[in-house]
Structure 1
Amino acid sequence: MSQPTVEHQESLSRIEQDAWLWLGRLQGQPGDGVQMAFERWLAAAPEHVDTFVRMQSLWHLSRPAAQQLADEEAAALQQYLRNPVSKGPYWASALAMAACLLIVVWGAGWQPLRWVDDLGADWVSAPGEVRTVALSDGSRVVLDADSAIAVQYSAGERHVELRRGAGYFSVVPGEIPFTVAAAGGEARVLGTRFEVRRLGEGARVSVQQGRVAVRGGPLEAPRVLTADQQVSYVAGVSGNLQGVDVGALTAWRDGRLSFYRAPLGEVLDELRRYYPGRIVLLNDELRGKRVSGSFASQDPQAILDALQGVVGFEQHELLGRLIILR
């Protein structure tokens, strides 16, 4: 099993930043003027050559991860833009280049789509932060790390939109329905305790106490869940009801992340909420590998180290803000 390779540096020197920018300018077919300017920069100081070679190695390691991040951002942005994002090679290359620069020069903690979710949110939790919110009717929401909700109460409905992440809802009983909307579906209750979690393009509802009516979309009939039942939905269609230990599933409220035969990709999605930068898996064959365990949520690096011992992936850390798994 390979040992993790650590390439950590909190910030780049001016020469390192210049070398990185030269790497970007030299991609494709640079003109004679660019090539001559680059050669003059190399000859200006001996450390320029050494630094450029080091940055070139870093470029080759980070570029696949940057391309994946760029593709993810482009796909997600299409949800918010009227005109589809071009899929041409120039666009993909430009996004990858921008992602590389952001990762290496400014750090990988910048995630541009968060502000879109947060713009319309009333309550937000930061990466690594579990936050409890008291609503005006006395109901409470525990937000998982890196989550966002929008709340709208009216005379006929108590409505919450889960814009990102997950929330555990303790609803005060009342005659006015309490609805949580997420990914085109909704969970509707009068008073109970349950979790709603965004998963990719869909969502999952898990009930700990009481009864919850769930429908995956406006054309689907509601299905009633009771204690320790769970259902997931995507694209307006719900899956089968599952029996689960919701207490263990929601142990994140007490600082524990528990998984039982969960796909590695799903586990990494949860870890990303607790890591201040980005975690990128470049080995698709490992994404579906099943893992189990219970871990302290505030130490995502220790969780990755434990998973590495079981799954056997390589770890590469860049600048303390990007972890590449392959």
Structure 2
Amino acid sequence: MVALSDQAIDWLVRLQSDEVTDLDRQAFVDWSGQSDDHMRAARDAQALFGAVSQTETAQDWTGQEAALSPNATIPINTARNTRRRMPGSMARFGTRRFALSIASLCALVLAIMAGAGVPTDIWARWTAQYSTDIGLFKTVNLPDGTVAHMNTASAFSIDFSNGVRRVDLAAGEVIFDVAKDAQHPFIVSAQGGEAMAVGTVYGVRITDDHVNVTVREGVVEVSTGVGSSMRLLAGDQAVYHDGRGPQTGGHVDLAAYGSWQRGKLIFNNRPLGDVIDEVQRYKTERIVIARDAVHDLKVTGVFEIAELDDLLDTLEQAMNARVVRLPLLTVIY
């Protein structure tokens, strides 16, 4: 049975379609009014979207021509059971295509494949106590009662001794629902820094040469041994690099944070380059953007992780771009 939260998101995605009707809108009102749980799911879904894609904003796109520029926001939406294409506003983004010569494409492919190498975190995932493969998720119950929600390509080991519960995050992202134990602090170590809590919910993510710490509930103290530590409350985020003190990462939309736990990725006016970087985490093949003008286009939408190929297929319809699929490589230009 599909969860109410997913049904609510599917409703909001449907309401953003150019083909939405008054009957659809009334049907959503009727669905929301079925019970308090339905109403709560509808409110949570609207909060999850936040500024991502309010239905009024989506309707504003109908009948308008969107300028194809780095500042243009392109709403693209996919959701479970919403597989049909929405040609309205997508079709209005120019039809001009840029040709990439066979020689140039071959040179690009060879350069990419020569530098692809082996993923840097593969050894960490092989040797850690707990790990997930690319595109997979896992929930782990730790010995102290803490629940660890592991995202794609993640790895960590634990050492619960000497009065401290210590986790060594080697790769990826994990959200920890920490069991309360005031006598034994819970510490996540990653790339030279630590995030300490007693009983809370927070996530730690390694991305290239920096680490993000995001607090969903409670209080977390972040330190690197360089400069002062930083105390985070619910909704706060800190970022640090190895050998540098933590810096504020701003306030996080908690309704959208950790959406991957529900099998979704949510983007609000994000450059396509950032979107592809995020999608890359869930795909084994290499995805490369070969043209800067495409790299900077803004994307807004809710996407099913299990159907990310649909996102790539939609690019040609929604953007002035082409997608070329090769063995182990996808090129967007």
TM-score (normalizing by structure 2): 0.64
- 1:137-216 pair list within 5 angstroms: 137-174=144-181, 175-215=183-223
Partner residue in 1 for 2:285: 277
For this pair of structures, how many residues does the alignment match?
A: 236
Q: Per-residue CA shift, 1:263-320, capped at 9, x if unaligned?
A: 333322221122232212223454444322111011111122344544433211013x
Deviation readout 1:37-69 (Å, 9 max, x if unpaired): xxxxxxxxxxxxxxxxxxxx5x86354244235
Task: Determine if the alignment matches structure 1 residue 68 to structure 2 residue 102.
Answer: no
Inter-partner Cα distance in structure 2 for 1:316 and 1:291: 20
Give the secondary-structure state (helix, strand or coil) at the position aligned to 2:281. coil
Equivalence map 1:107-118=2 (5 Å): 111-118=118-125
1:226 maps onto 2:233 in alignment: yes
The residue matched to 1:298 in structure 2 has which SS? helix
Displaced runs of 4 or more, over 6 A? 2-5
Kindly state the Cα deviation for residue 198 of structure 1 after the two structures are TM-superposed: 1.5
Q: Which runs of no fewer than 5 residues in structure 1 stay unpaired? A: 6-56, 74-110
Go from structure 1 to structure 2 and tell me whether the alpha carbon gap of 1:112 and 1:225 turns closer, same or farther (over 3 Å shift): closer
Q: Distance in 2 between matches of 1:62 and 1:237?
A: 43
Give identity over the alignment, percent. 29
Post-superposition Cα deviations, 1:182-224, rounded to whole Å, max 9, x if no partner, equal 2322211111001111222101111110001113x32132111
Q: What are structure 2's unaligned runs of at least 5 residues?
A: 1-94
Deviations 1:219-269 (A, max 9, x none): 132111111111222242433341121231211001011122333333222
The structure with the larger Rg is 1
Task: Give the alignment of 1:93-132 within 5 angstroms.
Answer: 111-132=118-139
Q: Which amino acid is the alignment partner of residue 61 of structure 1?
A: L
The answer for the alignment partner of 1:27 in structure 2 is none
- How far did residue 120 of structure 1 move? 3.0
SS of equivalent to 1:253: helix
- CA–CA distance in structure 2, aligned partners of residues 168 and 257 of structure 1: 16
Q: Which moved more, 1:236-245 or 1:281-290?
A: 281-290
Alignment partners' CA distance in 2, 1:167 and 1:4: 40
* Partner AA of 2:184 in structure 1: I
1:88-147: CA deviation from partner (whole Å, max 9, x where unpaired)? xxxxxxxxxxxxxxxxxxxxxxx4534322243111111211111111111111111121
- Indicate conservation of the 8 Å contact 2:97/2:321, yes or no: no
Match of 2:298 among 287, 290, 296: 290
User: Is contact 1:208–1:247 with CA below 8 Å preserved after alignment?
Assistant: no
Quick one: structure 1 residues 242 and 137, their matched pair in 2 at CA, closer, same or farther if it must change by over 3 Å? Answer: same
Indicate which of 300, 311, 321 corresponds to 1:313: 321
Structure 1: which amino acid aligns with 2:135? Answer: G
State yes or no: 1:323 paired with 2:333. no
- Within-5 A mapping of 1:5-44: none
Confirm or deny that 1:254 pairs with 2:253: no
| Matched residue SS, 1:126 | coil
**Which is helix-richer, 1 or 2?**
1
